Amino acid sequence: MGTDAGIVIIGAGEAGARAAAALRENNYAGPVTLIGEERHLPYERPPLSKAAMTGADEPTAATIMSEEQLAAHGIRHLSGVMVTEIDRAGHLALLDDGSRIPYSRLLLATGARPRRLTTPGADAASVLYLRTFSDALAMRAYLKPGIRLVVIGGGFIGLEIAASALDRGCSVTVVEMAPRILGRAVPAEVAALVAEAHKAAGVRLITGIGLKGIEAGCVVLADATRLDCDAIIAGVGAIPETGLAGRAGLTIENGIRVDGRLQTDDPDIFAAGDCCAFPHPVFDGRRLRLEAWRNAQDQGNHAARAMLGETAEFDAIPWFWSDQHGQTLQIAGLPDEGDATVTRDLGGATLHFHLKAGRLVGASAFGPIGNVAREIRLAEMLIARRAQPSPDALADPSVKLKSVLAVVPLAA
Ligand SMILES: Cc1cc2nc3c(=O)[nH]c(=O)nc-3n(C[C@H](O)[C@H](O)[C@H](O)COP(=O)(O)OP(=O)(O)OC[C@H]3O[C@@H](n4cnc5c(N)ncnc54)[C@H](O)[C@@H]3O)c2cc1C
């Protein structure tokens, strides 16, 4: 590379903002430009379906970096502008305000957007979606005590919104097409506990049935059941934001395809967070695309170092949490890799260990945060070390997980 034109980061969300800060933390002194389409300072999304819905006062965005912090780091933040094209040959990012920003290295941290329903009648006026702070403000305005809400989709976001809406005094029905809530990422036994918590709190859960159509004030199910309602919210998954990368000729494969360093097939372009699909070395190179807060942070950090020339592979263990009805659901690793499950009584919660040919590949639990968080953290460390712990030790609450960890050698 000749003179350093600087590093441009497209997407000022979790991964983009973290990467910008990490560049400075790793002593990069060249120009850093962080470009975001939303007219906000970088902010956290997890509160949008939780505190931003339930809090008594009008919420404010949970800012990741203040203007002062951006300035102190020497990060140029452009908000309310969209990058429309990448000129790879000219090393330029082209913006919708006509400006062109040169780069030596580029990071795509463009996130994901909600999948839209294609059900007849499901137009923008009748169905709400949640991804941004503006979406959260709009949604909150609907969730008044006594209103009848139908949530379509029993995934994390749908269920968190259901719990929050119930908290606000709404009457809530969740409709999930699959036979059970929470899909493949969450083991059936843990999903069943979450379903129980929703039912016990007063949410009506309908599973195993699709939609026929949406009419004014009514969701019609495939069996012609009519659910009269005042508001409809859909949480039916997210689609990685890959349009820009695709137009630039980068490979898209359930997200922007990157290698173990988070580098795309252009050596000067990297990707991080919800938008990218990467191979995971701890899971035999399985390609993953994660939609998880900590992954966005970890990948932001990693991409920053990779753009500065580090060659290490990204190998952080996936970890996800969700809060519903005052309890936490936490998952470490990849439970769906497992072929056997061992449970441990945590007293107030059950920890599920997922093993593949004797190796620990995942752990999951739903319960009070105090019971769950520390044990999941230890399980995560065992997964990172590719441990093959004795199932009897895992199942026995009198054997501390810390002592199991102590006898496992560090992974090569
Ligand atoms: C409501 C909600 C609740 C969540 N709760 C949890 C939780 O409890 N636990 C958990 O682990 N995870 C949770 N998540 C997931 C977590 O927030 C995401 O995984 C994380 O925000 C991903 O970060 P990101 O930087 O990849 O993408 P984002 O945070 O989505 O940021 C991407 C940004 O890029 C911008 N952008 C896209 N294209 C362009 C362009 N061409 N030009 C300029 N800007 C562009 C977008 O506008 C966006 O601001 C939640 C997500 C949501 C939406």
215 alpha carbon – ligand 1 mean position (Å): 31
Pocket test for ligand 1, best of 45, 97, 258, 327 (most atoms within 8 A of CB): 45
DSSP annotation of 282: G
Choose the final residue of a domain: 236, 259, 289.
Answer: 236
Pocket test for ligand 1, best of 101, 139, 291 (most atoms within 8 A of CB): 291
Specify whether the CB–CB gap between 334 and 283 falls below 8 A: yes
Same-domain check for residues 129 and 193: yes
The sign of the dihedral angle between the CA atoms of 371, 151, 48, 16 is positive
110 touches ligand 1 (CB under 6 Å)? yes
- pLDDT band for position 371 (cuts 50, 70, 90): confident
Protein residue with its CA nearest to atom 34 in ligand 1: 11
Beta pairing partners, 75: 32
Q: If you average pLDDT over residues 222-240, what whole number do you get?
A: 97
237 touches ligand 1 (CB under 6 Å)? no
Residues 6+ apart with CB under 8 A from 29: none
Specify whether the CB–CB gap between 109 and 272 falls below 8 A: yes
Choose the final residue of a domain: 255, 275, 307.
Answer: 307
Same-domain check for residues 222 and 180: yes
pTM above 0.95, yes or no: yes
pLDDT for 1: 47
35 touches ligand 1 (CB under 6 Å)? yes
Same-domain check for residues 100 and 60: yes
pLDDT for 411: 57
**378-390, pLDDT tens digit by residue?**
999 999 999 999 9
Q: Report the C-alpha gap between 262 and 174 in whole angstroms.
A: 37
Q: Report the C-alpha gap between 347 and 51 in whole angstroms.
A: 27
373 alpha carbon – ligand 1 mean position (Å): 23
**250-276, pLDDT tens digit by residue?**
999 999 999 999 999 999 999 999 999
337 alpha carbon – ligand 1 mean position (Å): 26
Same-domain check for residues 123 and 231: yes
45 alpha carbon – ligand 1 mean position (Å): 6
Same-domain check for residues 15 and 99: yes
Report the candidate in 160, 203, 147, 168 with the shortest Cα–Cα distance to residue 327.
160
Q: Which amino acid, 80?
A: G
Instruction: Look up residue 236 and give its two tokens.
Output: 């039916």
φ and ψ of 71, to 5 deg: -65, -40
Q: Is the pLDDT of residue 412 over 70?
A: no
Q: Residue 35 belongs to what domain range?
A: 7-111+239-307
Q: Is the pLDDT of residue 185 over 90?
A: no
Q: Report the C-alpha gap between 219 and 131 in whole angstroms.
A: 22
Residue 272 lies in a domain: yes
Three-state DSSP state, 69: helix
Q: Report the C-alpha gap between 347 and 365 in whole angstroms.
A: 12
244 touches ligand 1 (CB under 6 Å)? yes
85 alpha carbon – ligand 1 mean position (Å): 20
Distance between alpha carbon 358 and the CA centroid of its chain, in Å? 29
φ and ψ of 151, to 5 deg: -105, 125
Q: Which amino acid, 32?
A: V
Buried b (16+ CB within 10 A) or exposed e, 252-286: beebbbbebbbbbeeeebbbbbbbbbbbbebbeee
What mean pLDDT, rounded, does the chain reach? 96
Protein residue with its CA nearest to atom 29 in ligand 1: 13
Category of 91 on φ-ψ map: left (φ > 0), alpha (ψ -120 to 50) or beta = left
Q: Which amino acid, 408?
A: V
Q: Report the C-alpha gap between 191 and 198 in whole angstroms.
A: 11
Beta pairing partners, 352: 343, 364
16 touches ligand 1 (CB under 6 Å)? yes
Same-domain check for residues 123 and 188: yes
Same-domain check for residues 367 and 335: yes
9 alpha carbon – ligand 1 mean position (Å): 14
- Ligand 1 atom nearest the C-alpha of 84 is 41
Residue 315 lies in a domain: no
Same-domain check for residues 189 and 289: no
Protein residue with its CA nearest to atom 33 in ligand 1: 11
> How many residues can be counted in the chain?
412
The CATH number of whichever domain residue 401 belongs to comes to 3.30.390.30
220 alpha carbon – ligand 1 mean position (Å): 31
Residue 411 lies in a domain: no
Residue 349 lies in a domain: yes
- pLDDT band for position 410 (cuts 50, 70, 90): low
Q: If you average pLDDT over residues 9-27, what whole number do you get?
A: 98
φ and ψ of 182, to 5 deg: 70, 0
The CATH number of whichever domain residue 28 belongs to comes to 3.50.50.60
Residue 319 lies in a domain: no
Q: Is the pLDDT of residue 70 over 60?
A: yes
- Ligand 1 atom nearest the C-alpha of 299 is 26
Choose the final residue of a domain: 236, 269, 297.
Answer: 236
49 touches ligand 1 (CB under 6 Å)? yes
Q: Is the pLDDT of residue 19 over 90?
A: yes
Q: If you average pLDDT over residues 163-169, what whole number do you get?
A: 97
Residue 316 lies in a domain: no
Residue 295 lies in a domain: yes
Same-domain check for residues 123 and 197: yes
pLDDT for 126: 84
171 alpha carbon – ligand 1 mean position (Å): 28
Same-domain check for residues 222 and 124: yes
Same-domain check for residues 26 and 104: yes
**285-338, pLDDT tens digit by residue?**
999 999 999 999 999 999 999 999 999 999 999 999 999 999 999 999 999 999
pLDDT for 2: 62
Q: Report the C-alpha gap between 130 and 196 in whole angstroms.
A: 24
Same-domain check for residues 107 and 121: no
**For a pLDDT cut of 70, what percent of the chain falls above it?**
99
Residue 345 lies in a domain: yes
Domain count, the chain: 3
DSSP string for 303-342: HHHHHTT--PPP-PPPEEEEEETTEEEEEEE-GGG-SEEE
Enumerate long-range contacts of 82-87, CB under 8 Å, 24 or more apart.
Answer: 82/37, 83/10, 83/35, 83/244, 84/244, 85/244, 85/247, 85/248, 86/244, 86/245, 86/247, 86/248, 86/269
Protein residue with its CA nearest to atom 42 in ligand 1: 82
